[in-house]
Structures are given as C-alpha cells and as structure tokens.
Amino acid sequence: MGLANWLTVLRILLVPLFVTLLVYQKPGWALAVFVGAALTDLLDGWVARHRGISSRLGAFLDPMADKLLLTASFVTLTYLKALPFWITAVVLTRDTLLVVGALLVLMVGGRIYPRPTWAGKATTFFQILTVLTGLLSRYFHVVLAPRTIMWLAAIFTVVSGFQYLLQGMRFLNAANDAEHEAHESTLLRG
C-alpha cells in the first residue's frame, strides 16, 4: 500500500476524532482535524498523480473516505445546529442514491469503474467549504457567505448526482449487453 493510500486511511481515521471533538465542544481542535483531513484529500491525489500511481484500492478508498468525512460532518453539524437540515438532506440523498445505484449495477453483474467528474470535484470542494463556513460561523462567529456556499454545494451536489446517474446507466447497459452476448453465444453453440 503506497503513501497515497495511507493518507486516505489517515483521513478515514480522523473522522471519529473530528466528530468526538465537535460533540465534546472542542471546536478549535475539531476545525484543525477537519482541515488536516481535507488536506490529506489534496495530498493523496497529488502523491498519486506525481508518482504516476493508480490503484484499485485507492480508487475505492478515496471516494469512500470523502463520503465518510463529509457525511459525518454534515450530520454532526446539523445535529449541533451549525448547518440547516435541508443541505444535509440534499447531501445524504445524493450519496444514498449513489450507493443504491452502485449496488444495483453490481447485483446485475456489472462492473463499476468510477471516474470523478468535474461536478463531483466541485461538489467535494463546496461541501468542504460548507462544513468550514458552518464551523466558523457557529463557533468562531466568522461569517463567510455561508448561504451562498451552501447553495453552490447543493447545486453541484444535484448536478454531480445526475452525472453519476448517467455513468451508472452506462455501466448497467454494458452489463446488459454482455449478458445478451453471453446468452446468444450459448444459444448458437447449443
């Protein structure tokens, strides 16, 4: 396992620490941990590109680490009244639909080769900014246009959800085409 994957594992391990610090009213430390976790997201991608390393484990772990960090952040900050419920509902709905779609593709025998889209990258960026502005406005009374950032996060979340939905439909079609070819070749041999 390379350095990029270790950075991703570190991000996953920082999630419960971040949530614990928030719940126990240590917002300064929570902010530092969240920023550290967000930086590991940038670093693991940079390391992988710089070294020309790509792995199936990394392709699975990196988006999973992002989902864990952001989902835990949105849920905890909504519970603590630092973010409104509606933005968390948008984020969780999209992520739930992505997981259900991926399971559906796998259940019909398809393969998933997730490729980040431009909207997916923008979504992650604006969701991280939403968490940061929620933390800063609630605990440090620094207001950095949180409403605008939340709306941008919501818009990109929905757009990326549609992009991934289209990608998933292509994977389903490829699985369906492969199944038909296998069935036809069996009939021709029989």
Tokens of 35: 């920023």
Residue 116 CA to residue 103 CA, distance in Å, equals 18
**pLDDT value at residue 10:** 92
What pLDDT is stored for residue 189 in this prediction? 61
What's residue 68's pLDDT? 94
CA distance 108 to 25: 46
CA 180 to chain CA centroid, Å, is 33
| Amino acid, res. 189 | R
Amino acid of residue 43: L
* 123: amino acid identity, one letter: T
Asked if residues 63 and 114 have their Cβ atoms less than 8 Å apart, the reply is yes
Which CATH number is 138's domain given? 1.20.120
Could you give the C-alpha distances from 95 to 25, 89, 101, in angstroms and in order?
28, 10, 10
pLDDT of residue 46: 77
Q: What CA–CA distance (Å, rounded) separates 56 from 17?
A: 27
Provide the pLDDT for residue 190: 57
| Residue-level pLDDT at 170 | 79
How many domains does the structure of the chain reveal?
1
Neighbours of 122 (CB within 10 A): 17
Consecutive sets of 10 residues in the chain, 190 residues long: mean pLDDT of each?
Answer: 83 96 95 93 79 73 88 96 96 91 78 77 93 90 85 96 85 66 57
Q: What pLDDT sits at residue 17?
A: 97
Range of the domain at 161: 3-189
